[in-house]
């Protein structure tokens, strides 16, 4: 593998460009080692790349760079850059001047007029107690800076030939605690770095080969096997077959099938069951789920002091509702078994049943917890029950320190979990293991027509197809009224209600409009109907949906349009523009967090958590620091430049992202440019977000094409077999 990278001492003399959000910078530099580079007409040369920090001008750095030729001439791409530890006393004094004030440096020199100052600091022999202006805090700051510089210097020296991005080297040092430990572990097995989040086999393999690892090295083959199985989990599968794994590893690293087969059982991170390969973590998760559900399903918690049938009769009379036999059976099962699954499509009455269940639990004086996989889903559950609801992550302490997470438990007697289709195997296992009340009753609720979880597993469908206590609601109420519920049901059943030749505005009931328009009229149609909805609803009560983020009908461009209408540019509103899509975040913008972020400080300095799906309004912007403050309701969170990529405008979101949420009004764009990414389940998911008003802008032929396709709900999992097999069938 050809590698034209080399090391050089650089001294930035001019900052051409620097983006605080991405860390990308361009600097004109000078160097003592002019023989290594081609100088431009100004007598210097240009370096560029994603840098770990803004470079100080006229300060010397040690860099690993690669020569590149572009339209502006020769430049040098930075692979890594760090502050070298100066060896001369003069260099050490200069080094300290970048950390401390001139006065503080002079005071150090008075106490230590000669010798190696940085060595004294490194060996903790600096007489800081007798140095004016240098207390414990400042001394700690100096020691940390020197230690970090030495750590980086050692790591970059070892990894110099690998051209590993600087941010990953820093991440590796933090993971392994010291550069010495990192180097020691990598000398044993270079693929150990795949333990670190964000570093996969394709990143680790060139690094390993630069360190001399041979093509058929056992560690290389094992890492490739684990990578292939992990890739299958990214598609939702818990396992893949051994034959498929061997074929894919062969295609990946071009090693013969026999050598790959020999390493299957030596791969530490894998579980092998017959002809199946799985990550141990995923196998253990599904085993935990199976064991807990079988335990709960096989026993009850004793008779509850309540005549359920009588309670239901009284509730029906007071509320003017009539419960079907299916709906009544749910309550009988709920008090007969300690685990139950409630499945129903839109209009089947799941929300009503949960609300009645809460009344029963409160009448009995029992404790209960309600939770959902995402913040948006939790908000919907809280709205229709008028009770507190949290995310599963918060309920079980995901993201807290290891000790605090281990200590956090769910002690409630009833645990109600909504949107089970969004639940992956790992999160489900963590939740069930946290439900520690010996008499706990657990209810999982889901809609089997919605799309499955992003993570590996197929919890809802495995449970539906297993012999565990369940209530499946088959009757849809109010469909005859037409409108949203009728369209949702017919879409779910893949029944056509549009002719391919349909054009113009078609009304369904009194709350659903479908505008069949040619592609060139889609934008005008959206603008017209969005403004009509604004006459009845606040912007936060309107959910715009698109199948994709990109292109003219994607969420990015739609959000830009909506922002221009509901929160236009104003000299009174601070704003910043961020990222490749040039998204502008402005005070009063409606936004969504897209990354689970734990132990983040709020404006008061208290630690909190924001999870994927949390929404809030921007209440302040600092354009200079590229920092914004978002009010997420429960807390006000400052987000720095590097965190802005986890924020998006939430007036318009993707159909996938909308799962679990709800809104009074929904406007969907279903264009023929989205044709091949659409299916029945996505359409159904989007439609069922609407509570009061639904508008779909599409071409009839495009909608009908999507109706022909269903999401592939078949995933390779162990759970269903585990629930049906005897214990010895899946020993670990």
CB neighbour list of residue 476: distance below 8 Å, 6 or more residues apart: 345, 346, 347, 348, 485, 489
User: How would CATH label the architecture of 484-496+506-712?
Assistant: 3-Layer(aba) Sandwich (3.40)
CA pair distance 445, 448, nearest whole angstrom: 10
In percent, the amount of the chain with pLDDT more than 70 equals 96
pLDDT digits (tens, 9 = 90+) for 195-211: 888 788 998 999 898 88
Identify which of 443, 458, 677 has the alpha carbon closest to the alpha carbon of residue 553. 677
| Averaged confidence pLDDT in the chain | 88
Residues, the chain: 732
Residue 628 · residue 585 · CB < 8 Å: yes
pLDDT band at 731 (very low <50, low <70, confident <90, very high): very low
Q: Report which of 296, 223, 295 is spatially closest to residue 266, judged by C-alpha positions.
A: 223
Say which residues have a Cβ less than 8 Å from residue 695's Cβ, sequence separation at least 6. 512, 513, 514, 515, 529, 533, 665, 666, 667, 668
Neighbours of 312 (CB within 10 A): 18
Same fold, 283-473 and 484-496+506-712: yes
Assigned token pair, 309: 């049938």
pLDDT of residue 432: 97
SS3 for 76? strand
Residue boundaries of the structural domains of the chain: 6-82, 283-473, 484-496+506-712
Q: Looking at residue 732, what is its pLDDT?
A: 37
The answer to whether residues 696 and 674 touch, using CB atoms and an 8 Å cutoff, is no
Tokens of 177: 């605690």
Query: What number is the average pLDDT over the span 694-715?
Result: 92
Residue 118: other Cβ atoms inside 10 A: 23
The 10s digit of each residue's pLDDT in 543-591 is 999 999 887 788 999 999 999 999 999 988 999 988 777 889 999 999 9
- Quickly count: other Cβ atoms within 10 Å of residue 133's Cβ: 14
Q: How far apart are CA 427 and CA 6, in angstroms?
A: 45
Query: Using one digit for the tens of pLDDT, what is the confidence trace for 605-660?
Result: 887 888 888 889 999 998 877 789 999 887 899 998 878 888 999 999 999 989 88
Rounded to two decimals, the pTM is 0.81
Structure tokens belonging to residue 187: 């000398």
Higher-pLDDT residue of 395 and 729 is 395
Top pLDDT among 713 and 374 is at 374
The CATH architecture to which 283-473 belongs is 3-Layer(aba) Sandwich (3.40)
605: phi > 0 → left, psi -120 to 50 → alpha, else beta; which? left
Question: Residue holding tokens 């964000």?
Answer: 198
User: Would you state the pLDDT for residue 478?
Assistant: 61
Report the range of poorest mean pLDDT among 121-125, 219-223, 485-489.
121-125
**Of 192, 147, 226, 23, residue with least CA distance to 641:** 23
Closest C-alpha among 567, 561, 549 to residue 618: 567
CA dihedral 644, 647, 652, 654 (to 10 degrees): 110
CA 109/CA 131 separation, integer angstroms: 9
Residue 185 vs residues 52, 175, 195: alpha-carbon distances, Å: 24, 12, 12
Strand order of the β-sheet with 441-446 is 390-391, 368-372, 414-417, 441-446, 339-344, 470-473
Beta-strand relationship, 270-273 and 276-279: antiparallel
SS (H, E, C) 710-724: CCCCCCCCCHHHHHH
Residue recorded with tokens 């519920």: 485
- Residues linked to residue 28 through DSSP beta bridges, in sequence order: 14, 46
* pLDDT score at 511: 94
Question: Tell me, what's the pLDDT at 302?
Answer: 61
The CA–CA distances, whole Å, from 65 to 4, 117, 211, 613 equal: 8, 30, 18, 40
Confidence of residue 418 (pLDDT cuts 50, 70, 90): very high
User: Each residue of 61-119: pLDDT tens digit?
Assistant: 888 888 998 877 899 998 878 877 777 888 888 778 777 888 888 988 988 888 888 88
Cα distances from 326 to residues 138, 336, 417, in angstroms, run: 70, 15, 20
Match 């106490």 to its residue by tokens: 111
Confidence category of residue 29, pLDDT binned at 50, 70, 90: very high
């Amino acid at each position: 593998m050809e590698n034209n990278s080399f090391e050089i001492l650089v001294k930035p003399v001019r900052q051409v460009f620097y983006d605080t959000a991405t860390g990308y910078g361009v600097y004109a530099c000078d160097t003592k080692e002019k023989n290594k580079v081609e100088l431009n007409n100004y007598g210097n040369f240009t370096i560029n790349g994603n840098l770990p920090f803004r470079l100080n001008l006229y300060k010397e750095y040690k860099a690993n760079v690669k020569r590149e030729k572009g339209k502006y001439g020769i430049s040098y791409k930075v692979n890594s850059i760090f502050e070298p530890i100066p060896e001369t006393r003069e260099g050490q004094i200069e080094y300290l001047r970048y950390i401390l004030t001139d006065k503080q440096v002079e005071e150090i020199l008075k106490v230590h007029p000669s010798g190696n100052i940085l060595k004294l600091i490194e060996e903790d022999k600096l007489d800081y107690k007798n140095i004016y202006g240098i207390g414990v805090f400042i001394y700690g700051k100096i020691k940390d800076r020197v230690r970090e510089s030495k750590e980086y210097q050692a790591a970059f020296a070892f990894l110099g030939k690998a051209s590993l991005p600087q941010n990953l080297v820093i991440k590796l040092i933090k993971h392994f605690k010291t550069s010495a430990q990192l180097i020691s572990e990598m000398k044993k097995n270079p693929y150990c770095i795949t333990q670190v989040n964000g570093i996969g086999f394709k990143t680790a393999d060139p690094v390993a080969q630069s360190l001399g690892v041979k093509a058929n090295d056992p560690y290389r083959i094992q890492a490739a096997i684990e990578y292939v199985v992990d890739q299958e989990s990214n598609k939702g599968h818990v396992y893949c077959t051994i034959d498929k794994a061997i074929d894919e590893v062969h295609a990946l690293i071009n090693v013969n099938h026999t050598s790959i087969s020999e390493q299957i059982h030596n791969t530490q991170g894998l579980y092998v069951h017959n002809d199946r390969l799985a990550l141990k973590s995923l196998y253990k998760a599904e085993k935990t789920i199976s064991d807990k559900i079988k335990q709960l399903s096989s026993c009850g918690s004793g008779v509850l002091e309540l005549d359920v049938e009588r309670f239901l009769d009284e509730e029906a009379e007071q509320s003017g509702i009539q419960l079907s036999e299916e709906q009544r059976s749910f309550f009988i099962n709920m008090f007969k078994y300690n685990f139950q699954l409630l499945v129903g499509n839109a209009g089947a009455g799941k929300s009503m049943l949960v609300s009645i269940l809460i009344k029963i639990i409160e009448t009995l004086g029992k404790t209960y917890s309600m939770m959902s996989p995402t913040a948006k889903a939790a908000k919907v559950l809280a709205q229709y029950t008028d009770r507190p609801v949290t995310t599963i992550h918060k309920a079980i302490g995901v993201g807290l320190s290891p000790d605090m997470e281990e200590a956090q438990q769910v002690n409630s007697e009833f645990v109600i979990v909504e949107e089970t289709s969004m639940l992956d195997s790992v999160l489900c296992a963590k939740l069930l293991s946290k439900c520690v009340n010996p008499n706990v009753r657990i209810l999982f609720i889901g809609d089997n027509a919605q799309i499955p979880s992003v993570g590996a597993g197929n919890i809802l469908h495995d449970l539906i197809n297993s012999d565990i206590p369940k209530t499946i609601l088959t009757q849809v109420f109010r469909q005859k009224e037409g409108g949203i519920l009728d369209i949702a049901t017919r879409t779910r059943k893949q029944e056509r209600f549009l002719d391919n030749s349909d054009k113009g505005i078609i009304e369904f009931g009194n709350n659903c409009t479908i505008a069949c328009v040619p592609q060139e009229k889609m934008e005008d149609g959206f603008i017209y109907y969005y403004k009509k909805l604004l006459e009845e609803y606040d912007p936060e009560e309107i959910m715009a949906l698109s199948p994709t983020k990109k292109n003219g009908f994607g969420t990015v461009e739609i959000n830009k349009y909506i922002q221009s209408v509901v929160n236009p540019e104003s000299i009174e509103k601070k704003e910043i523009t961020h990222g490749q899509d040039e998204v502008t975040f402005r005070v009063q913008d409606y936004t969504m967090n897209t990354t689970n972020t734990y132990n983040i400080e709020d404006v008061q300095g208290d630690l909190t958590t924001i999870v994927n799906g949390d929404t809030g309004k921007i209440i302040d912007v600092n354009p200079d620091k590229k920092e914004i403050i978002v009010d997420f309701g429960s807390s006000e969170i400052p987000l720095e430049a590097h965190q802005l990529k986890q924020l998006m405008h939430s007036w318009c979101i993707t159909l996938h992202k909308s799962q679990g949420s709800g809104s009074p009004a929904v406007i969907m764009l279903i264009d023929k440019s989205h044709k091949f990414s659409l299916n029945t389940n996505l359409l159904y998911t989007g439609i069922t977000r609407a509570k009061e008003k639904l508008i779909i802008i599409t071409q009839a032929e495009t909608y009908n094409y999507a109706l022909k396709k269903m999401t592939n709900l078949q995933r390779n999992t162990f759970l269903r077999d585990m629930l049906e097999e005897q214990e010895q069938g899946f020993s670990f």
